[in-house]
Structure 1
Amino acid sequence: MHIVLSTYRSSLEDALVDRGQNVLAIVPTAILEQRTTQAGARYQVRSVKSWDDSGQLARIAGDLRAQSVASVDTTDEQCLRAAALLRSMLHVDGQSRIQALRATDKAVMKDALNRAGLPIARHQRIAAVADAAPAARDLGWPLVIKPRRGFGTLGTSVISSHAELGKLLSTGAFNGLNIPNGLQASGMHLAMDAIPGGLLVEEFIDASAEYHVEVLRWRGEEVYAIPGRYPAPLLGTDTFGAVLLPPGTEHDELIALARAAADALDLETGFAHVEVLRARDDSLLIGEIGLRPGGSQVPRLLELQHGIDVPAVAADLATGQRPSVTLASSPGTIAWAAAVTPRGRITAMTPAEDILTLPGVIAATSDLTLGQLAGGALGSVALGTHVYARGATAELAERNAVAALRAWHITVAPR
């Protein structure tokens, strides 16, 4: 049996079942009914109220000890620690608890990167949002405050001054997030001071660009290391996406830094998603590293550009096989762009068919339907429309994707 911990995607479960494997999915209790219906008779589904509920995880492990468990896997960052705990209880090989902690606790992660001599932003642990003010005496304003176990920029804020911090505290800006039910098992819906794992405050890096590098290793051997660039630094933008970078100077220095970050977290087998900032003085700093595939539509971008099937690769890892990856060469460069839909009920939307006629566009998909209630901005998690475009260069591909995205008009009636 393969145990898969997952929140909002069933791609790994589906890939394993398609190979004839016996699968048990563990999902948040809030979406148990939905995921059970989705699974049908293909695989079993159990649930936990919180990914940090060690007692409930221990009960599940106790129920499974009499069965032959081949692997415990996840591709979701918020599930990494729970998956590692289950592995230790069931004596199954894979990512260890200390590796999972380093990959999900930003303070522990940055300690590991710092010990390896890698460039990172100055930072401090804090117990409460109000503690950011004394931390600013060392770090300066503006500063960034975030949950140590956060993901998708949820709960992350850039605060410009002591006065702004006071205003945000007085207006209840840190009293909790309205997030989808399936994400509440992470604790990210709680008030900032109550989120499990505590908080981190760090100096704000005025970045001219932000990058990501997708890494896959198998028993110490690098299968691929593929760098990309976001359309804009993630903090403060309303346009998300990525373009994969062709070989060159920038390409090589990003890969070198990502390899060093993966080494710092002792990655031998599995995925890494490394985020890198370029400061205004042209220096590079590691923002974060996650030991999981890139999120949102990054797997789709890898498939379009290089023919990489990320769920199939994850299934290879789960079944103990060397990932079968041959990097295809697609003409030109492909970029992905996505936008957050304003809050409200959707009353009008440009058809995806119209977007497909625009220059360079090769695919256009939407998570939205007319009449649906859109939740508005939610970090890089809640996105509405996605465009994929090709160009002769990375810059042209990105320009085509962003231009097509801007042409995708959505009208909402305020809630």
Structure 2
Amino acid sequence: MTALVLHRFPLGPFPYDRWLDGLESGVVMIAARDRIEGGGERVPDGPGGYRHLEVVDTFDDEELVDRLALDLAHEYGVTHVIAHHEADLIRAAGLREKFGLPGQLPAEVLPFRDKVLMKQRLAGAGIEVAPHTVPGTAAEVRAFAAAHGLPLVFKARDGFGSIGLRIVRSEEELELRLAEDFAPGSGPREDLLLEAYVPGRMCHVDGVVAGGRTVMAWPSQYQYDLSSFQADGGARVDLTLAPDDPLTPRLLALAEGALTALGGPADYAFHAEVFHTPDDRLVVCEVAARPAGARIRDVLNAVFGVHPVELASRAHTGLPMPAIADLAGGERLAPVRMAGQVLMMRRPGTVRSVPVTPEEPWVEFYGVFAEPGEVIGRAAISSDFLAAAVLSARTRAECEVRLRALGARFETEIVID
């Protein structure tokens, strides 16, 4: 067996050579130079622990990546294709279909990538989603605004990472947006999703499905506004909900229902975002058939003692999974601790100082992604961090205290002119 991994992340946090060391013919990887260097890593001189490591400058060259993937699949007799980035799910599914390989196929990916189809499936299963439309013209946007009021949420129909997401809060902003999105003489659009604004705190449920059943899942709650990543200069805290929080079982049950409605494959990681409204409703925002971004993967690793990407990858390739071997039918892994992340976004300027490395034993991950003297730009996506840390604790309350204390340190010690 040989796995082809499409990888547009830094290499260090994803040791596929170790995670999949039971594969008879090893792992072939296509990696992105810009993501490796952007994570503060050096590009390897050779394949390291991989059977073959192909490094491209960027995955933005879609034609090059497609050609390489096809060539490597042929050359190495690939039996499994692994992709854990939203932008690569369709590409990986197409390769599986072309070569007759197991895993998620294009028709199964579509409900997770096309936000309109996603919402149709969820609503059809009785799961509440925001009122929405695909406006072809500016007039249709104005009609939707008249029916649902402001604010309105504009996003790409197949977007990810909050790229292009915009919350319009005033009539003046709306007209500016319409001038940008519906230029005179342009035809009707089909790629834009317009949603009514849902108030409340955003929660998320993350986990892994293996063998067709959910074996890992736990809810967390963002303590910040996801869409503010380009303007937020302070510490952003996100942490798990406690086992005895009344929201915990509700969110777990809702995520299970959403996955069933969307019809995911037998083995995959997932990330579901859910609004908890002031009147105590749960409204599904989106569900992705891939691991969460930011450092949520490390949070789950701290909570359960097993990395969700490792678990999902081993499930997909049919390798043994000791972490879940003793689970009875219907059982999920139980959390062993609480955890969360504290993040500082990139913002434009010259970096003058970065945080002192925290040395407390509950620091599960710490990273700074710029150096003093470096000139950096504004965050392009919601995972463009300047600094990030994952902390753990026995309880959620204790974890939050630790996260906010470190966040205060970040805000003091990071200086950007």
Report the alpha carbon displacement of residue 197 of structure 1 after superposing the two structures with TM.
7.3
- Aligned identity (percent) is 24
User: Scaled by the length of structure 1, what TM-score is found?
Assistant: 0.82
SS of 2:89 mapped into structure 1: helix
Q: Which residue number in structure 2 is paired with residue 251 of structure 1?
A: 248
Structure 1 residues 129 and 52: alpha-carbon distance in aligned structure 2, compared to 1, 3 A threshold: farther
Q: Which residue number in structure 1 is paired with residue 168 of structure 2?
A: 159
Structure 1 residues 55 and 379: alpha-carbon distance in aligned structure 2, compared to 1, 3 A threshold: closer
Report the alpha carbon displacement of residue 365 of structure 1 after superposing the two structures with TM.
2.8
CA contact (8 A) 2:343 2:407 kept: yes
Q: Which residue number in structure 2 is paired with residue 313 of structure 1?
A: 311
SS of 1:57 mapped into structure 2: helix
For 1:268-283, list aligned pairs within 5 A: 268-283=266-281
Report the alpha carbon displacement of residue 26 of structure 1 after superposing the two structures with TM.
3.2
For 1:13-412, list aligned pairs within 5 A: 13-15=16-18, 18-19=21-22, 21-27=25-31, 37-38=43-44, 40-42=46-48, 43-45=52-54, 57=66, 60-61=69-70, 64-65=73-74, 67-127=76-136, 132-168=141-177, 198-207=191-200, 209-236=201-228, 238=232, 239-248=235-244, 249-267=246-264, 268-321=266-319, 323-325=321-323, 327=333, 330=336, 333-353=338-358, 356=359, 364-391=366-393, 393-408=395-410, 409-412=413-416
Structure 1 residues 101 and 49: alpha-carbon distance in aligned structure 2, compared to 1, 3 A threshold: farther
CA deviation profile, 1:154-192 (whole Å, cap 9, x unmatched): 11010013321223566x6x79xxxxxxxxxxxxxxxxx
Report the alpha carbon displacement of residue 388 of structure 1 after superposing the two structures with TM.
3.2
CA deviation profile, 1:20-69 (whole Å, cap 9, x unmatched): 64333235697799999437223232759767957973785367446522
SS of 1:126 mapped into structure 2: coil
The one-letter amino acid of 1:218's match is A
The one-letter amino acid of 1:240's match is R
CA deviation profile, 1:67-102 (whole Å, cap 9, x unmatched): 522101111111101110111111111001122111
Distance 1:236 1:166 in 2: 21
CA deviation profile, 1:256-299 (whole Å, cap 9, x unmatched): 00000111111232111111111111111111100011112111
CA contact (8 A) 1:3 1:71 kept: yes
CA contact (8 A) 1:57 1:86 kept: no
Report the alpha carbon displacement of residue 401 of structure 1 after superposing the two structures with TM.
0.4
Deviating more after overlay: 34-43 vs 337-346: 34-43
SS of 1:242 mapped into structure 2: strand
CA contact (8 A) 1:228 1:245 kept: yes
SS of 2:84 mapped into structure 1: coil
Distance 1:143 1:90 in 2: 43
CA contact (8 A) 2:132 2:194 kept: yes
CA contact (8 A) 1:316 1:324 kept: no
Structure 1 residues 134 and 162: alpha-carbon distance in aligned structure 2, compared to 1, 3 A threshold: farther
Distance 1:39 1:80 in 2: 28
Structure 1 residues 204 and 94: alpha-carbon distance in aligned structure 2, compared to 1, 3 A threshold: same
What runs of 5+ residues in structure 1 fail to find an aligned partner?
176-192
The one-letter amino acid of 1:201's match is L
Deviating more after overlay: 106-115 vs 257-266: 106-115
Report the alpha carbon displacement of residue 301 of structure 1 after superposing the two structures with TM.
1.1
CA contact (8 A) 1:149 1:197 kept: no
Distance 1:265 1:319 in 2: 22
Structure 1 residues 217 and 389: alpha-carbon distance in aligned structure 2, compared to 1, 3 A threshold: closer
CA RMSD of aligned residues (A): 3.4
What runs of 5+ residues in structure 2 fail to find an aligned partner?
325-332
Distance 1:12 1:157 in 2: 35
Structure 1 residues 202 and 12: alpha-carbon distance in aligned structure 2, compared to 1, 3 A threshold: farther
Aligned pair count reads: 388
The one-letter amino acid of 2:354's match is M
CA contact (8 A) 1:147 1:200 kept: yes
SS of 2:322 mapped into structure 1: coil
Deviating more after overlay: 109-118 vs 368-377: 368-377
CA contact (8 A) 2:354 2:368 kept: no
Distance 1:133 1:235 in 2: 22
